[in-house]
């Protein structure tokens, strides 16, 4: 009877260990930012984003130059004793309005630039995600995480899927 109990206990332990081992998730990792930089489409996207950014900077600079010129004129007018107070108040209100317009335009430009960047990057990110999904399926990984997010303190190189994903993206492996 004792032998039978030991055999049953041993069988249970083996069965439990096997189920536990099968329940373990297989996790691989990539460096998403590095992959994006390696994709040939990235340079084109970056060029478009930089061009749009320069357009915004030129507009803001032009607005700022106009504000500076009017501000200088306002300061000269303030020094003149015969300038009507109502004119100075109107000029000051105009300067404040111009300043507010520059601030509003800058904030809107920054928001629009981020939206533009997201729109242009979306196809690249989708392509990268699809490549990761294919590698995950082929190599039987449950998860592929972006190690570039600095949330991981240790990662085994055997689970580094950068070259497999590079291959799926048609990039050279390292």
Please give the helix or strand (H or E) that residue 30 lies within, else none: strand 27-30
- The pTM assigned to this predicted structure is 0.72
> How much is the pLDDT for 62?
98
> How much is the pLDDT for 23?
58
The rounded average pLDDT for each run of 10 residues, N- to C-terminus, in the chain (174 residues) is: 52 52 75 92 97 98 98 93 92 97 98 98 94 90 81 65 86 82
Task: Report the sign of the C-alpha dihedral through residues 140, 146, 148, 151, in that order.
Answer: negative
Domains recognised in the chain with CATH numbers:
2-169 (3.30.910.20)
Tell me the backbone φ, ψ of residue 84, rounded to 5 degrees: -65, 145
Are 31 and 120 spatial neighbours (Cβ–Cβ below 8 Å)? no
Tell me how many degrees the CA angle 6-7-10 measures, rounded to the nearest 5: 85
> How much is the pLDDT for 19?
52
> How much is the pLDDT for 117?
97
DSSP bridge pairs for 29: 145, 160
> How much is the pLDDT for 25?
81
> How much is the pLDDT for 10?
46
What's the N-to-C CA distance of the chain in angstroms?
61
């Amino acid at each position: 009877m004792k032998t039978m109990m030991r055999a049953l206990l041993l069988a249970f332990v083996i069965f439990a260990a096997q189920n536990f081992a099968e329940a373990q998730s297989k996790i691989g990792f990539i460096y998403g930012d590095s992959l994006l930089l390696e994709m040939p489409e990235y340079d084109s996207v970056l060029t478009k984003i930089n061009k749009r950014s320069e357009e915004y900077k030129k507009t803001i600079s032009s607005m700022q130059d106009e504000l500076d010129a009017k501000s200088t004129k306002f300061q000269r007018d303030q020094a003149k004793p015969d300038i009507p107070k109502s004119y100075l108040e109107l000029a000051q209100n105009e300067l404040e309005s111009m300043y507010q317009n520059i601030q509003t335009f800058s904030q809107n430009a920054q928001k629009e630039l981020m939206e533009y960047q997201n729109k242009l990057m979306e196809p690249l990110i989708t392509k990268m995600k699809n490549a990761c999904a294919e590698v995950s399926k082929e190599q039987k990984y449950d998860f592929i995480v972006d190690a570039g997010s600095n949330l991981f303190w240790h990662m085994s190189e055997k689970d580094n899927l950068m070259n497999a994903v590079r291959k799926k993206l048609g990039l050279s492996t390292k």
